[in-house]
């Protein structure tokens, strides 16, 4: 996922792992939040439903992004956090 032409997020195949690239962004907190909102708003298709189990190789509940994801409406699901309901 690009934000302002810079790599912000990468959803790994299978939709269980998320990689972030805050070093690529001038305002990482704001721009990562924007990318997480956009990720949740993906159009229906193969990648619409995903459950984030890890962020940067760490269990999602143990990462600093957990609070941001919850604030954005991501919901607890078996194995991690799912996108906000539409």
Instruction: Produce one character per residue of 13-45: b if its CB has 16 or more CB atoms within 10 Å, e if not.
Output: eebebbebbeeebeeeeebbbbbbeebbeeeee
Alpha-carbon span 1 to 75, nearest angstrom: 21
Alpha-carbon span 44 to 22, nearest angstrom: 27
Count of domains in the chain?
A: 1
Print the domain residue range for 17: 2-82
Tens of pLDDT along the chain (86 residues) come to 999 999 999 999 888 999 999 999 999 999 999 999 998 888 766 556 789 999 999 999 999 999 999 999 999 999 999 988 87
pTM, whole model, 2 decimals? 0.88
């Amino acid at each position: 996922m690009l934000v302002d032409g810079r790599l912000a997020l990468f959803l790994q195949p299978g939709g269980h792992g998320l990689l972030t690239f805050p070093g690529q962004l001038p305002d990482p907190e704001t721009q990562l939040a924007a990318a997480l909102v956009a990720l949740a708003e993906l159009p229906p298709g193969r990648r619409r439903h995903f459950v984030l189990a890890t962020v940067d190789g760490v269990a999602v509940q143990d990462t600093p992004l957990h609070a941001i994801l919850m604030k954005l409406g991501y919901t607890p699901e078996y194995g991690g956090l799912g996108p906000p309901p539409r």
